């Protein structure tokens, strides 16, 4: 039976193939057919075709594994005895369709609630963030580690938001962050921003609710890079329902939790 190392190598290979396809679409973003999935939620033909490429490749190579993709999550049927590939073909569709180069492709492999593989590829900048459970995290093959920061004043915290939560769930923690002299960052891609936490570029990330295809790959990359992240996959229901995410450099995690949850 294929193991984690083999799956990891294949994921790194196929994500670059998907990246080439997505990058071709990005080079002509003005011509894309874009469909609305809800408020501030959309999919383009690039999302759909990139997911098709990934699903076909992964299911051909590993037909006994399960597949959960952003563009058709309702077709996912959990099976506790099988591993699951979790895919976001383009995380950051809003930037993508507007010609902003802050998007990525995300592939994770989980067994039950254990993250085993996480791969995030930014085709525009040719940056591949990758991790295997217990094997460390890399950027283009070089080891990476979370920031050594111990104060919110020493870097940037990304604050994510979606219409799946109330504005107050983001605004209240945001106000606490500002009151502690913290500075925020947002690029429109949660998976890429979390990868930046792993690489030490950002000191933290917070979002009241993320879908598993947005956080799964980067969650493992953060842990393997020495960062800290909450239990965002507490049970297999979270694969479909999603979770709150708080992730940070080890010296920042406690204070970021105080920002998110308050100290009263």
Q: Is the domain of 120 the same as that of 200?
A: no
**140 exposure class (CB count in 10 Å sphere: 0-12, 13-18, 19+):** exposed
* Average pLDDT of the chain, as a whole number: 91
Q: Which residue has the higher pLDDT, 262 or 20?
A: 20
Look up residue 165 and give its two tokens. Answer: 């939560």
What pLDDT score does 39 carry?
A: 42
- Of 118, 143, 168, which closes a domain? 143
- Of 78, 110, 143, which closes a domain? 143
Q: Is the domain of 105 the same as that of 172?
A: no
Q: Is the domain of 173 the same as that of 133?
A: no
Q: Is the domain of 182 the same as that of 76?
A: no
How many domains, in total, are found in the chain?
2
| CATH for 129 | 3.30.540.10
Query: Helix 212-224 crosses helix 190-198 at what angle (to 10 degrees)?
Result: 0
What pLDDT score does 167 carry?
A: 86
Q: Is the domain of 25 the same as that of 127?
A: yes
- Of 103, 125, 143, which closes a domain? 143
Longest dimension (CA), the chain: 53
Q: Is the domain of 84 the same as that of 190?
A: no
**Looking at the predicted structure, is the pLDDT value of residue 240 above 70?**
yes
- Round to whole Å and give the CA distance between 153 and 179: 11
Q: Which residue has the higher pLDDT, 264 or 126?
A: 126
Q: Is the domain of 12 the same as that of 127?
A: yes
Q: Is the domain of 179 the same as that of 52?
A: no
SS3 content of the chain, % helix, strand, coil (to 5): 40, 25, 35
Closest CA to 82 of 20, 178, 7, 29: 7
Residue linked to tokens 């569709």: 93
Its domain, for residue 72, covers 4-143
Q: Is the domain of 21 the same as that of 89?
A: yes
List of residues 6+ apart from 186 with CB closer than 8 A? 158, 159, 160, 161, 193
DSSP, collapsed to helix, strand or coil, labels residue 15 as: helix
pTM: 0.94
């Amino acid at each position: 039976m294929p193991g984690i190392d083999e799956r990891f190598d294949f994921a790194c290979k196929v994500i670059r193939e998907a990246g080439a396809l997505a990058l071709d679409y990005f080079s002509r973003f003005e011509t894309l057919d874009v469909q609305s999935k809800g408020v501030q939620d959309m999919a383009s033909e690039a999302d759909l075709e990139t997911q098709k490429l990934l699903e076909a490749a992964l299911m051909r190579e590993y037909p006994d594994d399960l597949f959960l993709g952003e563009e058709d999550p309702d077709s996912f049927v959990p099976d506790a005895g099988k591993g699951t590939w979790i895919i976001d073909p383009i995380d950051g569709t809003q930037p993508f369709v507007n010609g902003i180069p802050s998007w990525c492709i995300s592939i994770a492999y989980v067994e039950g609630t254990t993250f085993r593989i996480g791969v995030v590829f930014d085709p525009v900048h040719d940056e591949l963030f990758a991790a295997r459970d217990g094997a460390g995290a890399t950027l283009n093959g070089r080891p990476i580690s979370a920031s050594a920061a111990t104060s919110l004043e020493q870097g940037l915290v990304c604050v994510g938001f979606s219409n799946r939560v109330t504005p107050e769930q983001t605004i209240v923690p945001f106000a606490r962050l500002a009151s502690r002299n913290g500075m925020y960052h947002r690029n429109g891609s949660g998976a890429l921003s979390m990868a930046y936490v792993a690489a030490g570029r950002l000191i933290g990330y917070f979002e009241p609710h993320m879908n598993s295809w947005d956080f799964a790959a980067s969650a493992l990359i953060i842990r393997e890079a020495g960062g800290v992240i909450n239990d965002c996959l507490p049970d297999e229901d979270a694969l479909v329902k999603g979770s709150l995410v708080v992730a940070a450099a080890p010296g920042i995690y406690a204070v970021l939790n105080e920002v998110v949850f308050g100290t009263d």
